[in-house]
Structure 1
């Protein structure tokens, strides 16, 4: 799709979800860096090009000048410091890694960069000072940068996952054109039912059971209007709307924070979603919450299902134990979402960018 193969440097790579998308957009990754051993192993299992360096980014910064002139630097620095789900601590060491990302950009001097992070960093007043500091530093390096908040469901991902993408391009660029290019990449996501039904029930070679955490009822439920929100089961694993989209898959999956659904409803044995009736009973007061195990038809999603919701290729190989794999999947940028962003940026660089390589 591009006039030439663009080159890319991948930072905070994780299992490589963002790389899958960028590669599909015609970008050849020449260097990747990830500190987590299992995630780096996953990357190597799917990208046998030897570009992965499994080390702390601070230890590789000095070597990045050899990639000076690469077209794009991309990555998603750890976001726990900014996450609404976390402590939102500006002094969290992980909060500083967005600036380490720019340190890498300074050394490589690409034509463009794409940094993904949680939505909160893109719009919350609490992070206004950090956001302003980030944009000013990018500007001092010669990059006009705009944060775009995107919803994964609009980019082919059956998951209500909103994220900010800071897109920086050398010299001034037209934000309206970039927005238009991003809009042109939109494609409606399939429902969870359509996405997962071909995998088949859990417990087969194609879709093995990978999470044994029991599902029990909360004795003091926190209710919301939707049956797929609130907390009326143990842990923080939420029910998934089979006919709609999953909530954001968390990196804390693997135990009782793993989302779940009604398997009988998914595969047509039942005509109604069990959790909808249970939720209605709690709201109306006809059901008294008590600690007991939920029906067996409710089960937590498997690794294969989580990977499919994140739009990883079906044959993607994951390394590590099940808990580590769930974490890798939850931490990833959905592949199709990354692909859409990458295609928009490549199109911009090819058609509208006046700066020389």
Structure 2
């Protein structure tokens, strides 16, 4: 594809967001990442010299010249917006969204796209952050809004809600709205279709990368769905392989890694998780902690990357635990691609009228 626009990538991680924007014709000319293993992963898969390692505030003077970049993208770390945490404007983790805006204000791109967790847009206790982001965008000359998107609506085999803060320079006269995303909605493959490409774990094509033991909860927490609640010890939930995955967490690699049933996926046997859940719902007694069948296992690095829609030949650097973290932290590439094409359309002069239902997913 012909590269139409230049872009700077911040808080790049392993490069999931960059892949999507590159597929939409954006030329990533400068990227930044603090974590060494993620930066090394990026270097393995992208053009030499693009990645600038270190804290963005320490490499600020290495940025391209103002006015030479069409787009700034990135997903500042979201730990400061944890629902379980205490929100504080002075929290160092929360300040990273403002470091992102520092770069936008300096480079003066035509558009910026910031990704973050749903809570940033939906919870009242984060209103001060939202207000400050909007204020800074307005003062810098941008018309910006927050958009809530679910990755599963854009071809990603994973339910993963994320917020995108998108702003266009007012002087461009672009009226961007959530209707731009509608064109790029598509049904995802099932997790089963993803897994069958790799085959059972433990082969050269699909190395077994997580051996954390799977044990059954002594007192299961029941929900209507067998893929919610807590049938197992640890926070790794079973995946409905005939549908889409739950949100993959950055804490994968141990007992928080999601679970699949190989016998169900590759041998056509009955779904053990659903059968066990049905038995409990109908008054059956919980099994013993160590009675989980041997066919249950946790997803591999290869499978996790594919569920996040990284290219199948993408290489990851660092220890296995770091690779899982890089994957869990990433923006799904196909979700980023849909956002990138939507932004590209707007920059290219495509006008999309706002639909009647668009207010359901737009925050302002």
Q: TM-score range by the shorter chain?
A: over 0.9
SS of corresponding position for 1:344: helix
Alpha-carbon distance in structure 2 between the residues aligned to 1:246 and 1:40? 27
Q: Who is 2:362 aligned against? A: none
CA distance in 2, matches of 1:260, 1:266: 12
**Which range moves more in the overlay, 164-173 or 257-266?**
164-173
Name the TM-score, length of structure 1 as normaliser. Answer: 0.94
Q: How many pairs does the alignment contain? A: 349
Residue 95 of structure 2: aligned partner: 96
Partner of 1:17 in structure 2?
Answer: 16
Farther-moved stretch of structure 1 (231-240 vs 324-333): 231-240
* Separation (CA, whole Å) in 1 of partners of 2:54 and 2:348: 33
Contact 1:218/1:291 (CA < 8 Å) preserved in 2?
A: yes
2:301 is matched with: 303
Q: Following TM superposition, by how much is the alpha carbon of 1:293 offset from its aligned partner in structure 2, in angstroms? A: 4.6
Whole-angstrom distance in 1 between the partners of 2:350 and 2:303: 39
Q: For residue 247 of structure 2, what is the aligned residue in structure 1?
A: 248
Q: CA RMSD in A?
A: 1.7
TM normalised by structure 2 equals 0.92
Q: How many angstroms does 1:67 deviate by?
A: 5.2
Aligned-residue offset at 1:278 = 1.2
Aligned to 1:277: 275
Q: Structure 1 residue 49: deviation in Å? A: 2.6
Which whole-Å CA distance do the structure 1 matches of 2:198 and 2:350 have between them?
A: 42
CA drift at 1:281: 2.1
Question: CA 1:160 to 1:32, structure 2 compared with 1: closer, same or farther past 3 Å?
Answer: same
Gap regions ≥5 residues in structure 2: 352-364
Equivalent residue, structure 2, for 1:325: 323
1:286 correspondence with 2:284: yes
Are 1:214 and 2:213 matched, yes or no?
A: yes
Of 311, 314, 317, the match for 1:316: 314
8 Å CA contact 2:220–2:286 kept in 1: the answer is: no
Q: Which residue of 2 aligns with 1:350?
A: 348
1:187 Cα deviation (Å)? 1.1
Structure number with the higher helix fraction is: 1
- The DSSP-based 3-state class of the residue aligned with 2:98 is helix
1:1-80 alignment, distance < 5 Å: 5-64=4-63, 66=65, 68-80=67-79
Q: For residues 182-224 of structure 1, give each alpha carbon's deviation from its aligned partner in whole angstroms, at most 9, with x where no partner exists.
A: 1101111111112221211111100010001010011122222
CA–CA distance in structure 1, aligned partners of residues 86 and 241 of structure 2: 31
Alignment check: 8 A CA contact 1:33 1:55 kept = yes
Residues of 2 paired with 1:71 and 1:49: CA distance? 21
- The corresponding residue for 2:226 is 227
- Conserved in 2, the CA contact under 8 Å of 1:76 and 1:115? yes
Matched, 1:337 2:343: no
Determine the C-alpha separation between the residues in 1 that align with 2:86 and 2:64: 33
Deviation at 1:69, TM superposition (A): 2.6
Q: Is the 8 A contact 1:196 1:305 kept in 2?
A: yes
